[in-house]
Amino acid sequence: MRKREKMTSLFLAGMLPVSVLLTGCGGGQENSGKIEIELVQYKQEAVGVFEQLEEEFNKTHDNIHLKIDSPNDATTIMKTRFIREDYPDILGIGGDINYSYFIDAGILADVTDYPGLETINPGYRDILEGLEFVPTEGTFGVP
């Protein structure tokens, strides 16, 4: 299985509003029988919002457990995890150079078929494409 197929990506650009949280591609199952979905994000200023989202989501989904991590040095931690092919289900990053690195490394899933993209301002999707060093066919983030 290709790296790109192992991880669903979520792109949270610091300059773009967060409008969608992908929840459909859970990874492992925990001992309780619930599907475990892991989201790792590095926007320290948004930790409180993500903690609230995690709590609300877990209260309303009996068969899914959402785990959101917001480590202090998330970029370094994620790069280390990627080397070990230990990918989260969802990755929340800003619109920086790492987005391009992750696309070039082939670790982000193509979410072109995600129906929610239709509701996102096309200008935001254009920004995503503009962040790519090497133009790549597909959509690899959801602003």
- In terms of Cβ atoms closer than 10 Å to its own Cβ (0-12, 13-18, 19+), residue 6 is middle
| HSE of 131, CA atoms in CB hemisphere, 13 A | 26
- Residue ranges and CATH numbers for the domains of the chain are 3-130 (3.40.190.10)
Tell me the pTM. Answer: 0.72
Question: Of all helices (H) and strands (E), which one includes residue 76?
Answer: helix 74-83
Alpha-carbon span 129 to 56, nearest angstrom: 32
Q: pLDDT tens track of the chain, all 143 residues?
A: 444 333 333 333 332 333 233 333 445 555 578 999 999 998 889 899 999 999 999 999 999 999 999 998 888 999 999 999 999 999 998 888 889 999 998 889 999 999 999 999 999 989 989 999 888 999 999 98
